Structure 1
Amino acid sequence: MVLTLALLAAIALVWCLTAIVEKIRHGLSTAQAVLYAPFKLAYRISDARIGIARGAQAPVIYVVSHQSRLDPALTLSLLPDDTLHILDPVSAKSVWLEPWRELARTIAFNAEHVFVSRRLVRVLKGRGRLAVYIPEAVEPDIRSFRLYRAVIRIAMQADARIVPIFIGGAQALPFQMDGKAPAPRRWFPRLSVSVLEPMTAPELVARNGSPAASNANALFDRMAEARLATTEPDLTLFQAVRDAAELFGPGRVVVEDATGSRLSYRTLLAGARILGTRFAKLAKPGEAVGVMLPNTSGAVLSLLGLASAGQVAALVNYTSGPANVTAALRTAAIHTVISSRVFVEKAGLADVVQAVEAAGAKLLWLEDLQAGISGLDKAAAALLWRYPLHRQKAEKPAVILFTSGSEGAPKAAVLSHRNLIANAMQAEARVTITTSDIALNVLPMFHSFGLTAGTILPLVTGMRLFLYPSPLHYKLIPEVARRLKPTVMFGTDTFLAQYARTASDGDFSSLRFVVAGAEAVKPETRRVWRERFHTAIIEGYGLTEAAPVAAVNTAIHNREGTVGRLLPGMRMRIEPVEGVAEGGRLFLSGPNVMLGYMTAERPGELQPLADGWQDTGDIVKVDREGFITITGRAARFAKIAGEMVSLGAIEMLVQSLWPEERHAVVAVPDRRRGERIVLVTTATQADATSLRRLGKQAGIAELAVPGDIVKVAEIPVLGSGKTDYVATRDLAVERLNAGSAA
């Protein structure tokens, strides 16, 4: 009895002391502090930014992303007590919530009428405060999205500031709004209260320099930024995967590959630690180590092993040819390359191995490393799998990726741990992902899309990831999909079109959606996948320098012919381009934009971005709702008789004429006009007369219509699936010189 009383007294003392501290820290009322204290203790709440909400000048609307039944209790405890809270019907009547409802004024939520009520506008105009709870959804339905429109309309009528609030970690609570937790349920997860700075509706809309932008979209984007702000900014790649292991369960199988390997989070991180101990003996922390492996569990283990050892993984594009491999290794000052004898033999990469050695790098074979693993190594890794071998800061380099080289020599882009994790979380804040999803990734990790979207995103969000070693196995990949039944897939238009040609109708029927990037998705590809597999292709946009995803379409924000809208946390700037009447050259900034380049002139030396803005080299136009349309590449404009001509636009025109074939439009030197446009195509029926007729119908100047046609069996492509315009141009010049053009 005495022990019980002592325990109760200790609990009461801790409760009281916590309430006193929180009352002083945040200026809470006594009742608020007393009712907030148990939450603070149970959920170790990070609440440093709540002062922004409490200090916001009225009139103000607090927009709370409503995930769990605990959210109203928390916000009633923390927001100023003169706030009017609009609660959902369950919270408005819940018996257990009664003590918290006494802390401030509350009214019941009425989805049909409450937001059109003049009463709310009058409350705000009287220097009032309003808390609105919007159901949390990465891709809200039409009814939920109407709430964004209503809130922004009231804010504009009352000239009120908007403060977004998101409670990070609440998605793991068992008290979900719909009764279903998107992650494994945990009774006492650590919570963090994300609060963004107050902004008026016009300020929200004008942030990207587009005063005509959609108001509702501006608020939706701001709420996505609040969600993103709960991501721990100081996590390295290894730590982010470890945190995912603790959230989703160490025993959860997370990586599988075509060899039959199946790795749980615990096995994956333990294996990475073992490899990391070997890597640490061969290179210093911060040093770049090459990785030349296909999509297998060994590649993921090597990536995380290097992250554990504090080294930088330089992902070598072994499909780019010996000369490019040699140049890449020298540019990044790489002295060691991790590879596999079995892979090199099966892929026929003897010439690439010679290129690695010619660059002065030593090959480290995974087979040799695995053979030297002892029982003691395994035991130590099993105990210490949660801990990296070397402490490293998130802002330090994590990977080096080499740009595709589709229009010139590849460049070495250096991405930090923060860049990679931020980009994965930006995508997770925009596209609905659950732990029941199965991701099929056929894109190689040396391709930034295959690395971040296809590998890191599943690892940190709990998706089951299946890695297939090559995207070029057009007949085998549909069979894999039929057996695996993936729900999410990543690809490029080139690869998706090829899979559709060889697949049976039911092979991809399990897919919820396909995320496509790297090149424009052709209408024909989209149509085939929709009609045959009942699968939507979600088109996005990215570049290696942005880790790579910068914009994406979603279920509710989807406009065919565009690459979607910017990810949360990103900003864009559009600069005028000579000869381009609408739109301009796109510049990007954000947490996912790279640290800088390494160049052949200054090998191994990071050259940071001067002002944090990345020149994408893309010519774009943006509509009032923020959808981005790529109209061309700055490097893919030709100057014909003094006129600027977009080769990309001509390519799309040709595609509409022969949609089932593949085409590439290039410019070659011309003595009279400076340059002339050539069509390289797989369409055997292509003829100049049809092109001229189509150009005339489209209102395109005759000088912009290709006068020469080069017919080929296949258009040259890179390992990433992009058209290889350098090789295509060389092919066109060769055929023209030989007199074999049409």
Structure 2
Amino acid sequence: MILTGIVLGLLVAAYLAGSIALMIGLGLSFRQALLYLPLKLVYRIDDRRIRLARQAETPVIYVITHQSRLDPALMLSLLPDDTLHILDAQSAKAMWLEPWRELARTIAFNAEHVFVSRRLVRVLKRKGRIAVYLPENVEPDTRAFRLYRAVSRIALQGDARIVPIFIDGARHLPFSLVDEDNAPRRPLQRLRVGTLEPLTVNELTARAGAANTTASNVLFDRVAEARSGMSFSRQSLFQAVRRAARRFGADRQIVEDAISGTLTYRQLLMAARIFAGRFARMTAPGEAVGVLLPNSNGIAISLLGLMSAGRTAAMINYTAGPANVTSAIRTALIRTIVSSRAFIDKAGLEDIVEAAKAGGARFVWAEDIRDGIGNFDRLVAALCWQSPVSAQDPAAPALIMFTSGSEGAPKAVVLSHQNLIANAMQVEARLAVGPRDFLMNVLPVFHSFGLLGGLILPLLTGVRTLLYPSPLHYKQIPQVAAKRRPTILFSTDTFLSAYAKAAGDDDFSSLRFAVAGAEPLRAETRRVWKERFDTRLLEGFGLTEAAPVVAVSTATHNREGSVGRLLPGVRVRLEPVDGIADGGRLWIRGPNVMMGYMSADKPGMLQQLPEAWHDTGDIVSFDREGFVVIRGRAKRFAKIAGEMVSLGAIEMLVQSLWPEHRHAVVAVPDKRRGERIVLVTTAAEADAAELRRAGKEAGIAELAVPQDIVKVDEIPILGTGKIDYPTTRKLAIDRLGLAAAA
């Protein structure tokens, strides 16, 4: 009895001591600390950033992304106890909330009515604090988005600072508000409380600049920024995939191909562990190791194996041609390349292998690694599949990718683990994707769009992925889609158009949406997919240097003619361009923007960006709601008789005339004007007189309308689906007999 009393006394003393430590460490009241301590212990809460929220200068509005019924209890325990909490009826009436009820000065039961109340503005004007709980939907419907408008209006009227709060992991708790199919439950899910610095709506609007001017959207973006910045932060890509395995289940099927079948998270990481051991023995820490593989389970294993080993994966574009491959090997100082004999033989890439060897690289064959796996290797992998082989540094280079070469020689782009994870989470904060989805990735993983959208994003969000080997199988891909019923597809306009022509009306009917990038999405392609498959095409914009996504359309924000709105956390500035009044040259910075370039004249040397800003080379404009309109590449403007002409705009005009065909507009040398514009088209009926008439009706200057038309059977395209403009321009010059002038 005495012993029991002593034990109880010690427990009470420990409880009180822990509560006092929380009072001192976080600045909580004693009552808050008493209630918070068991939550902190059970859910191992990382609350280091809550001081930023508590110390925010009043008036302040805390905007909490409401993911679970535990969120209000946490916030009532952690936020200053004079905060007015605004809860919906279901949360306010929950029985488990009773112990915390006395901490809340007021609980409002009808959020929509409260939001329009003048009382909240009066609270703020008296230097008060308000906590509002907004739906966790990344693509809120019209009703839910009204709450953002209401909160931003109240913040403006009360001159209040906004502090977004996101509780990472809350959606996986047993009392989550998210559908269990999309957020598997974990009883002891670890939680992290994340916040951003307090800023007023006017400060947020000023920071967004030309990219956004509406209060509701800047609030929406700020909340999304808090969300994207919390998930998987301070982790390498290997660690992030391991964490996803824990969240979604180690035995969840996650990646598959037609030859080797399906792998679970556990099987994927076990195989990566074995490969990592081999890579660690044959290469040096931090070394760039080439990857020359098709879309397959093997490429997922190799990438994670290299990252587990602390190596940098350099993605070899085997469609770029021998000269470009040799240049890439030398630029990135690649001494070892992981590939497959079966793939080389089947794809007929012997010339690429010879080009790589000429650049100084040796080949390690995946077949040899697999044949050398013994029982001891399997045992170690089974026991240590969650442990990386080498130390992990999230800020270190993870990938080297090469630009497409659509406008010249490819450049080596160095991306860190943080760049890749940040971009995946930025996209996840815009598009509602999760374990309920099934993605069919037809884009090559050596391309940044195919890698991020088709492999990294699904691995981190629990989306099962079918890796398909080539986007050029126009007839087979619709058949596979009809059989496997994917819900998400990433592609390009060129490929989407080709698939639609070969597909039956029901082949793509399972898709919730498809995202088109890498080139402009034509209105005709959008119309065909909507009418035939009832599929919404969302257009995005990106570049390899941004890992790659910069902006994307969503169900909430979708405007034809634009590429959507900027991802959360992306900052922009526009530089004036002579001859262009509406728009400017786009510069970007953000957590997804690359570490820097490697160039052929300084092989292996990272050339960092000055002040972290990157010149995209794109000329864009923004409307007042932040929608991005691409006016064209700076290199895709021609100067005709002193006037700046957008070749992309002329392509859009041509497309409106002959929408079922492919077109490319290029500038070629001209002795009198310096340059002249040529249309290269697959439309046999294309006529210069009709084009001039359409240009006149559209208000386009006559000198900007192509006078020369070159008709071809196919427009040259790159392996990534983009138009190959250098080859197209050369074709036009040869056809017009301008080779000497060029």
The TM-score bracket by the shorter chain reads over 0.9
- Give the letter for the 1:674 counterpart: G
Residues of 2 paired with 1:7 and 1:259: CA distance? 61
**Is 2:22–2:28's contact at 8 Å kept on the other side of the alignment?**
yes
Q: Which string of whole-angstrom CA distances, capped at 9 and with x for unpartnered residues, describes residues 43-89 of structure 1? A: 11111111122111221111111111111111111111111111111
Question: For residue 498 of structure 2, what is the aligned residue in structure 1?
Answer: 498
**Is 2:171–2:178's contact at 8 Å kept on the other side of the alignment?**
no
- Give the letter for the 1:62 counterpart: Y
- Give the letter for the 2:284 counterpart: K
Residue 90 of structure 1: CA displacement?
2.0
Deviates more, 1:9-18 or 1:315-324: 9-18
Question: For residue 567 of structure 2, what is the aligned residue in structure 1?
Answer: 567
* Secondary structure of the structure 2 residue equivalent to 1:581: strand
> Quick one: structure 1 residues 664 and 211, their matched pair in 2 at CA, closer, same or farther if it must change by over 3 Å?
closer
Residue 399 of structure 1: CA displacement?
0.7
> Quick one: structure 1 residues 178 and 731, their matched pair in 2 at CA, closer, same or farther if it must change by over 3 Å?
closer
Residues of 1 paired with 2:212 and 2:91: CA distance? 37
Question: For residue 97 of structure 2, what is the aligned residue in structure 1?
Answer: 97
Question: For residue 619 of structure 2, what is the aligned residue in structure 1?
Answer: 619
* Secondary structure of the structure 1 residue equivalent to 2:64: strand
Structure 1 segment 479-558 matched on structure 2, within 5 A: 479-558=479-558
Residue 349 of structure 1: CA displacement?
1.0
> Quick one: structure 1 residues 248 and 211, their matched pair in 2 at CA, closer, same or farther if it must change by over 3 Å?
closer
Unaligned runs of 5+ in 2: none
Residues of 2 paired with 1:728 and 1:3: CA distance? 88
* Secondary structure of the structure 2 residue equivalent to 1:426: helix
Residue 331 of structure 1: CA displacement?
1.0
* Secondary structure of the structure 1 residue equivalent to 2:167: strand
* Secondary structure of the structure 2 residue equivalent to 1:182: coil
**Is 1:423–1:547's contact at 8 Å kept on the other side of the alignment?**
yes
Question: For residue 728 of structure 2, what is the aligned residue in structure 1?
Answer: 728
Question: For residue 402 of structure 2, what is the aligned residue in structure 1?
Answer: 402
**Is 1:85–1:130's contact at 8 Å kept on the other side of the alignment?**
yes
Question: For residue 73 of structure 1, what is the aligned residue in structure 2?
Answer: 73
**Is 1:67–1:176's contact at 8 Å kept on the other side of the alignment?**
yes
- Give the letter for the 1:131 counterpart: A
Q: Which string of whole-angstrom CA distances, capped at 9 and with x for unpartnered residues, describes residues 396-454 of structure 1? A: 11111000111111111010111111111111111101211001101111100001111
Residue 14 (structure 1) aligned with residue 23 (structure 2): no
Question: For residue 683 of structure 1, what is the aligned residue in structure 2?
Answer: 683
Residues of 2 paired with 1:611 and 1:53: CA distance? 28
Residue 24 (structure 1) aligned with residue 49 (structure 2): no
* Secondary structure of the structure 2 residue equivalent to 1:105: coil
- Give the letter for the 2:709 counterpart: I
Question: For residue 332 of structure 1, what is the aligned residue in structure 2?
Answer: 332
Residue 7 of structure 1: CA displacement?
6.1
Question: For residue 426 of structure 1, what is the aligned residue in structure 2?
Answer: 426
Question: For residue 455 of structure 1, what is the aligned residue in structure 2?
Answer: 455
> Quick one: structure 1 residues 226 and 492, their matched pair in 2 at CA, closer, same or farther if it must change by over 3 Å?
same
Question: For residue 656 of structure 2, what is the aligned residue in structure 1?
Answer: 656
* Secondary structure of the structure 2 residue equivalent to 1:737: coil
**Is 2:211–2:572's contact at 8 Å kept on the other side of the alignment?**
no
Residues of 1 paired with 2:332 and 2:199: CA distance? 43
* Secondary structure of the structure 2 residue equivalent to 1:406: coil
**Is 2:631–2:648's contact at 8 Å kept on the other side of the alignment?**
yes
Structure 1 segment 293-312 matched on structure 2, within 5 A: 293-312=293-312
**Is 2:655–2:661's contact at 8 Å kept on the other side of the alignment?**
yes
Residue 6 of structure 1: CA displacement?
6.5
Residue 117 of structure 1: CA displacement?
0.9
Residues of 1 paired with 2:568 and 2:482: CA distance? 34
Unaligned runs of 5+ in 1: none
Question: For residue 471 of structure 2, what is the aligned residue in structure 1?
Answer: 471
Question: For residue 215 of structure 1, what is the aligned residue in structure 2?
Answer: 215
> Quick one: structure 1 residues 267 and 108, their matched pair in 2 at CA, closer, same or farther if it must change by over 3 Å?
same
**Is 2:171–2:177's contact at 8 Å kept on the other side of the alignment?**
no
Residues of 1 paired with 2:154 and 2:729: CA distance? 56
Residues of 1 paired with 2:83 and 2:242: CA distance? 40
- Give the letter for the 1:319 counterpart: T
Residues of 1 paired with 2:715 and 2:271: CA distance? 41
* Secondary structure of the structure 2 residue equivalent to 1:583: strand
Residues of 2 paired with 1:52 and 1:298: CA distance? 44
**Is 1:645–1:704's contact at 8 Å kept on the other side of the alignment?**
yes
- Give the letter for the 2:376 counterpart: L
Residues of 1 paired with 2:212 and 2:31: CA distance? 45
Residues of 1 paired with 2:486 and 2:528: CA distance? 19
Residues of 2 paired with 1:155 and 1:397: CA distance? 41
Residues of 2 paired with 1:632 and 1:109: CA distance? 50
Residue 92 of structure 1: CA displacement?
2.0
Residues of 1 paired with 2:598 and 2:498: CA distance? 35
Question: For residue 323 of structure 2, what is the aligned residue in structure 1?
Answer: 323
- Give the letter for the 2:48 counterpart: A
Residue 356 of structure 1: CA displacement?
1.3
* Secondary structure of the structure 2 residue equivalent to 1:289: strand
**Is 2:86–2:111's contact at 8 Å kept on the other side of the alignment?**
no
> Quick one: structure 1 residues 42 and 5, their matched pair in 2 at CA, closer, same or farther if it must change by over 3 Å?
farther
* Secondary structure of the structure 2 residue equivalent to 1:541: strand
- Give the letter for the 1:279 counterpart: F
**Is 2:437–2:488's contact at 8 Å kept on the other side of the alignment?**
yes
Task: State percent identity of aligned pairs.
Answer: 65
Q: Which string of whole-angstrom CA distances, capped at 9 and with x for unpartnered residues, describes residues 238-296 of structure 1? A: 11111111111111111101214211111111111111111122210111111111000
- Give the letter for the 1:262 counterpart: T
Residue 267 (structure 1) aligned with residue 244 (structure 2): no
* Secondary structure of the structure 2 residue equivalent to 1:499: helix
**Is 2:87–2:111's contact at 8 Å kept on the other side of the alignment?**
no
- Give the letter for the 1:222 counterpart: R
**Is 1:482–1:508's contact at 8 Å kept on the other side of the alignment?**
yes
Residues of 2 paired with 1:391 and 1:96: CA distance? 43
* Secondary structure of the structure 2 residue equivalent to 1:576: strand
* Secondary structure of the structure 2 residue equivalent to 1:149: helix
> Quick one: structure 1 residues 437 and 6, their matched pair in 2 at CA, closer, same or farther if it must change by over 3 Å?
farther
Residue 359 (structure 1) aligned with residue 359 (structure 2): yes
Q: Which string of whole-angstrom CA distances, capped at 9 and with x for unpartnered residues, describes residues 283-313 of structure 1? A: 1011111111100001111111111111111
**Is 1:485–1:508's contact at 8 Å kept on the other side of the alignment?**
yes
Residue 390 (structure 1) aligned with residue 395 (structure 2): no
Residues of 1 paired with 2:67 and 2:476: CA distance? 41
Residues of 1 paired with 2:95 and 2:688: CA distance? 77
- Give the letter for the 2:672 counterpart: R
Question: For residue 693 of structure 1, what is the aligned residue in structure 2?
Answer: 693
Structural RMSD (CA): 1.5
**Is 2:112–2:147's contact at 8 Å kept on the other side of the alignment?**
no
Structure 1 segment 569-608 matched on structure 2, within 5 A: 569-608=569-608
- Give the letter for the 1:627 counterpart: F
Question: For residue 143 of structure 1, what is the aligned residue in structure 2?
Answer: 143
> Quick one: structure 1 residues 548 and 4, their matched pair in 2 at CA, closer, same or farther if it must change by over 3 Å?
farther
> Quick one: structure 1 residues 178 and 641, their matched pair in 2 at CA, closer, same or farther if it must change by over 3 Å?
closer
Q: Which string of whole-angstrom CA distances, capped at 9 and with x for unpartnered residues, describes residues 202-250 of structure 1? A: 1111112139711100000000111122124321111111111111111
* Secondary structure of the structure 1 residue equivalent to 2:483: helix
Residues of 1 paired with 2:106 and 2:588: CA distance? 42
Size of the aligned set, in residue pairs, is 739
Residue 672 of structure 1: CA displacement?
0.9
Residue 9 of structure 1: CA displacement?
4.9
Residues of 2 paired with 1:74 and 1:100: CA distance? 9
- Give the letter for the 1:448 counterpart: S
Residues of 1 paired with 2:627 and 2:667: CA distance? 29
Residues of 2 paired with 1:482 and 1:329: CA distance? 40
